[in-house]
Amino acid sequence: MSTKPKVLLAMHRNLGEQIFKKEDFEYFKTFVDVNEVSSLPERVDESFIKENIRGVDICVTCWGTPPFTKEVLDNADRLKLIAHSAGTVKPIVTDYVWERGIRVTSSAPAIATAVAEMTLGLMIISLRRIFHFNELTHKGFWKTDEEISKTKSLYCVTVGIVGASHVGRNVIRLLKNFQVDILLYDPYVSQEEAERLGVKLVSLEELMSSSDVVSLHAPSTPETYHMINKSNLSLLKPGSILINTARGSLIDESALIERLAKGDIFACLDVTDPEPPDVNSPLRKLPNVILTPHIAGGNSVTDRWRQGKYIIEQIYKFITQGTMDYEVTKEMLPRIA
């Protein structure tokens, strides 16, 4: 009889195939007893978990996994850890999970790395006006001194980070490779912590008025709903760039559209509210907006491998040390994505 901890993969088969690189999954099987990805159903519902979770120590979930209701947990006689190989755990974790002392982790830090990388890329190509120069060159034009005078790089500019989340901190880390000034707005970060991060803690108004690039990394909560609005959008300097790879609800889009219509700022929006934007939304027509379909995190082949590898590493640490690099607690939920 196996003495390895028993693990249940509770996710759609296609996600299991995307999340776990074959080599990583083979390593996983060296220290756990786990069901094969190929045995997973096309869709995982509550009955699948109820029927399979008895005797399981660790359950690995993903997007689309149903919540851990009382009925599910009544069958979970040995469950100690829910390891979510995606981002937010809010759709799957219920109060019953906390009541039973089940611990929780997720691949949010791995996804945050991917989002931060895309954010940095958007900063670089937007400051250098790559989208604009691509269009000009395709139309037969070439650079001019006037065009160059409007172009910048990640040197001697000020970048404002809204939210010291996993993503925000990763963006700050990446920006340390460039000679830029970094401003931070986050009401939960102390002056001492800001100093450790190497950033200047400021009000949202100062950040909006002083930054060449404003990048949003706050969670979607009632507190952050439309935190970017007509009042502070008016503070943006002409030529500045607004990047949102967080959540669309952070921005009052009607106010943003009104500011963008003036033509003096540029926006990169990976997220909108609603998603996708209405087919007639001005965001789809404005020339100074780059729209992408919520792809910054967890939406590439290699990003998903990174999520799977991260959750395997966390499970190994949980089994061997009883600790994890990232553990989600009930107290954290109101302040995280």
Q: Which of 254, 286, 291, 287 is nearest to 271 (CA)?
A: 291
Non-local CB neighbours of 197 within 8 Å, separated by 6+ positions: 164, 169, 172, 184, 189
> To the nearest 5 percent, what fractions of the chain are helix, strand and coil?
40, 15, 45
Q: Tokens 């190509």 — which residue?
A: 125
Q: Which of 48, 85, 86 is nearest to 68 (CA)?
A: 48
Q: Which of 75, 129, 72, 83 is nearest to 106 (CA)?
A: 83
CB 337 within 8 A of CB 163: no
DSSP 58-92: EEEE-TTPPP--HHHHTT-SS--EEEESSS--TTT
CB 161 within 8 A of CB 245: no
Q: Which two tokens stand for residue 164?
A: 């010291």
d(CA 99, CA 103): 10
Give catalytic residue positions.
247, 275, 294
Q: Which amino acid is at 64?
A: G
Through-space distance between the first and last CA atoms of the chain, rounded to whole angstroms: 41
